[in-house]
């Protein structure tokens, strides 16, 4: 077993979880910055129509891509369980099943994107002025979506093995390349949104190649052999059993957020601008807290695979405590400097800043609850109960928010009331996640004790027979 695996199964938890999580946080923050850079380049050199064209594709591409990226969660959990249980053959087969699954997922998305991009955009009410550019951008993005799938699946395997630094380095390199190519394609070759899309898929291809090479260079059970790729039915079944609920959950969250955005739109342009600015700030807080979801998945997954349930409990409480403190600190800083930060997105527009501070105050003061909710979901997935995590998230977050919009918000049509549904849904979902998780954990502990009792009885019986 290599050092990264030992860090999950042995040693002090807080330092190990911190070292594991920080690269994930940096990876997510860099991704946000690079995405912002795309829009900056388009906005500076192509105009507002091109910005709108790129922005119009975000929700639909996110909905489709995130569904399949959910499968990478299944691959990561399956690898974590195998590593924790020291089942090298299982890990080997999972790794060599995951990559073909990623490629197949990418192929399905490519066909769907090329065929239905314009249809999807029309269904979303995309204005005719931006529809042609949006369609071009979306189709090019989907041509390279397989690279995105390969990166996410392989990065999930690396994280399951305790390596969070390599995905960070690969993303940093690919992100810098993306920015450079944006400038070359947009300024030098005047390719407009097509240039930005092409730069994106080239950088994704580079990151995919790098992460595959990283797996091929490993010396443990996660080592990848390209000539051994195939679908192993038991491993594929486990990836789908854990990954599909995660993908469905991502899709359902996207749908509920679309409804909330529609509610925000009902207030008019100023409110939409204020909400957009606030969302940019909240995004950075969210990715910092969501990183502990992945930490919970992998630390709980490996230790559950090793049947070390005491360390599973310790991992849960460590993630809960850390994400709570971090959420309170980051949320407080965003509130404290909120107006100054919002002015970056809306310089001199006091109305937008004032409106933006409403969601900032409500959400940032309670964002640690969102972090706890994500940790709870990660714990259940680490225990292999991904379907339960999906159902709880569906009812606790999505259904709760929809009911709130059509009842409480309908009766009191204010932005404050609308955003109150977020902390309410976070509390309900987090409480349910942890309640179910500890019930499952208790059952696993009882089963382990029962198995140990049986083993002792067998050994005593055998010893007695030998002495006779």
State the sign of the Cα–Cα–Cα–Cα dihedral 175, 221, 437, 245: positive
Distance CA 388, CA 249 (A): 11
Rounded Cα distance, 91 and 239, in Å: 12
Angle, vertex CA 360, rays to CA 355 and CA 365, nearest 5: 145
pLDDT category of residue 269 using cuts at 50, 70 and 90: low
Sequence spans of domains, the chain: 11-243, 266-451
CA-wise closest residue to 312 among 294, 292, 325, 298: 298
Residue 147 above 50 pLDDT?
yes
Most confident of 108-122, 156-170, 285-299, 312-326: 312-326
Would you call 335 helix, strand, or coil by DSSP?
helix
SS3 assignment, position 267: coil
- The predicted structure's pLDDT at residue 311: 94
The token pair that represents 405 in the structure block: 């919009």
- Average pLDDT for 366-375: 95
pLDDT band at 456 (very low <50, low <70, confident <90, very high): low
- Residue 454 has a pLDDT of 65
Give the model's pLDDT for residue 353: 86
What is the band of 466 on the pLDDT scale with cuts at 50, 70, 90?
very low
Specify the 3-state DSSP secondary structure of 388: helix
Residue of 280 and 241 predicted with greater confidence: 241
Tokens 């009882």 belong to 446
pLDDT in tens, 7-62: 788 888 999 999 989 998 988 888 777 777 776 777 677 776 776 677 667 767 77
CA 174 to CA 203: how far, in whole Å?
Answer: 5
Q: Check whether 330 has a pLDDT greater than 60.
A: yes
Write out the two tokens for 128.
């005719």
User: Which tops the pLDDT comparison, 85 or 222?
Assistant: 222
- Stretch (H or E) spanning 255: helix 233-265
Give the mean model confidence (pLDDT) for residues 268-295: 81
Judge whether 235 and 89 are in contact, CB under 8 Å. Answer: no
Tokens at residue 162, please?
């305790």
Least confident piece of the model among 163-167, 320-324, 416-420, 450-454: 450-454
User: pLDDT-derived band of residue 341, with 50, 70 and 90 as boundaries?
Assistant: confident
> How many other C-beta atoms can be found within 10 angstroms of the C-beta atom of residue 47?
12
Residue 253 has pLDDT above 90, yes or no: no
Q: Is residue 233 predicted with pLDDT exceeding 80?
A: yes
DSSP state letter for 11: S
Name the more confident of 275 and 143: 143
pLDDT band per the 50, 70, 90 thresholds, residue 467:
very low
pLDDT for position 84: 86
pTM: 0.81
């Amino acid at each position: 077993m290599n050092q990264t695996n030992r860090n999950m199964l042995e040693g002090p938890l807080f330092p190990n979880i911190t070292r594991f999580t920080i690269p994930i946080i940096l990876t997510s923050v860099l991704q946000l910055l690079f995405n912002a850079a795309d829009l900056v380049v388009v906005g500076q050199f192509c105009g507002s129509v091109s910005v709108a064209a790129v922005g119009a594709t975000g929700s639909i591409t996110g909905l489709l891509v995130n569904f399949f990226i959910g499968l990478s969660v299944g691959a990561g959990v399956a690898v974590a369980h195998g590593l924790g249980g020291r089942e090298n053959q299982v890990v080997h087969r999972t790794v060599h099943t995951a990559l073909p699954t990623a490629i197949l997922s990418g192929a399905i998305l490519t066909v769907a994107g090329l065929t239905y991009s314009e249809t999807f955009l029309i269904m979303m009410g995309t204005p005719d002025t931006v529809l042609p550019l949006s369609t071009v951008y979306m189709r090019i993005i989907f041509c390279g979506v397989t690279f995105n799938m390969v990166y996410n699946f392989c990065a999930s395997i690396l994280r399951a093995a305790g390596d969070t630094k390599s995905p960070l380095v690969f993303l940093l390199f690919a992100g810098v390349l993306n920015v450079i190519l944006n400038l070359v394609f947009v300024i030098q070759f005047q390719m407009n949104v097509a240039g930005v899309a092409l730069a994106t898929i080239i950088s994704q291809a580079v990151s995919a190649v790098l992460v595959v090479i990283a797996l091929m260079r490993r010396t443990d059970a996660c080592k990848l052999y390209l000539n051994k790729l195939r679908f192993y039915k038991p491993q594929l079944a486990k990836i789908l059993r854990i990954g599909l609920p995660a993908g469905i959950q991502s899709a359902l969250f996207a749908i509920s957020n679309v409804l909330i955005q529609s509610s925000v739109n009902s207030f008019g342009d100023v409110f939409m601008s204020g909400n957009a600015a606030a969302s940019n700030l909240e995004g950075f807080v969210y990715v910092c807290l969501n990183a502990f979801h992945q930490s919970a998945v992998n630390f709980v997954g490996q230790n559950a695979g090793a049947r070390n349930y005491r360390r599973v409990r310790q991992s849960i409480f460590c993630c809960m405590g850390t994400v709570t403190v971090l959420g309170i600190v980051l949320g407080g800083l965003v509130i404290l400097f909120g107006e100054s930060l919002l002015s970056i997105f809306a310089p001199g527009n006091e109305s937008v800043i004032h409106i933006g501070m409403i969601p900032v105050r409500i959400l940032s003061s309670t964002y640690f609850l969102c972090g706890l909710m994500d940790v709870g979901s990660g714990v259940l997935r680490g225990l292999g109960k991904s379907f339960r995590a999906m159902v709880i998230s569906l009812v606790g977050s999505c259904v709760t928010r929809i009911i709130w919009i059509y009842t409480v918000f309908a009766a009191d049509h204010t932005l404050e009331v609308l955003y109150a549904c977020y902390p309410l849904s976070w509390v309900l979902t987090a409480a349910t996640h942890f309640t179910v998780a500890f019930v499952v954990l208790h059952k696993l502990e009882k089963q382990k004790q029962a198995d140990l009792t049986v083993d002792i009885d067998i050994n005593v019986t055998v010893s007695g027979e030998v002495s006779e």
